[in-house]
Amino acid sequence: MEGIYGVFVFIIGSILGSFFNLCIFRIPSEESIVFPPSNCPKCKSNIKKYDLIPIISYLILRGKCRNCSEKVSIQYPLIELLTGILFTIIYLYFGFSVELFLYLVLVSVLIITSVIDINTGYIYERVSLVGIIAGVVFIVYKYISSGEMLTYILGGVAAGGIIAIIILLTNGMGWGDAEVAFLCGLFLGLSSSILMIFLSIVLGGIGASILLVFGKKSRKDAIPFAPYISIGGLIALLYGEGIVKAFLSYYGLY
Ligand SMILES: [Zn+2]
């Protein structure tokens, strides 16, 4: 049964992913994400309902607009696929629960914010705000259901705070990165938040080195950091407890 629900969650994820594509392209240009409906950026023709099937429509149309044959960015099916896969992984891990719904909001915010950061180098407050609101709802729910609250507040403060200190010392990141770290921390609790920051800095270092080696970026270019916080945050969400325990017991602390 879980497999059938998994497929269902994947389909929901990929449909939402196609809405996230719209957000990713429209938020930086200050366009409405509600109106007008999806259209071709070149010929402006509205995309037909039957051409809006996530991933499949792209394959059927071979990545071209049905009306004018303008190439459609590969980013569209990739975001749909990524959203479907991440939604399914998180569902399989947490099962149907209130937490699952809030984690899916978190993942959605991270996908939109990371891809906009990669495309434009900017992080938009209204995207982060959705994540912060979901984080506050998550904390309230945790408090009601288990009495736990402090670790999540500390997680947000610690994650946002560490990035803020890095910004003040090095100028290497932007305040948007601190917002993203803060909102992830609200969901993770203190120890997983610290793990997330550690992972994101390591992954960011590796990513930046690769881009430097292949000459895609120079030393002066700012690297978009939100994707690394997001990857670190997702690893910490799924495996944080286990990794932190293994680490502590290795040093005889647990
Ligand atoms: Zn067109």
Residue 163 has pLDDT above 80, yes or no: yes
3-state helix, strand, coil in the chain (%, to 5): 70, 0, 25
For 28-47, how does the pLDDT look when each residue is reduced to its tens digit (9 = 90+)? 988 888 888 888 888 988 88
B/e letters for 183-210, b = 16+ CB within 10 Å, e = fewer, are bbbbbbbbbbbbbbbebbbebbeebbee
Q: What is the DSSP letter of 27?
A: T
What residues have a C-beta under 5 A from ligand 1, the ion? 40, 42-43, 65, 67-68, 70
Cα(84) to centroid(ligand 1), Å: 26
Cα(72) to centroid(ligand 1), Å: 9
Domain-by-domain residue ranges, the chain? Answer: 1-96, 120-254
**What's the confidence (pLDDT) of residue 219?**
66
* SS3 track for 40-88: CCCCCCECCHHHCCCCHHHHHCCCECCCCCCECCCHHHHHHHHHHHHHH
Query: Mean pLDDT for the chain?
Result: 93
Cα(52) to centroid(ligand 1), Å: 14
Helix (H) or strand (E) segment spanning residue 5: helix 2-26
**What's the confidence (pLDDT) of residue 69?**
92
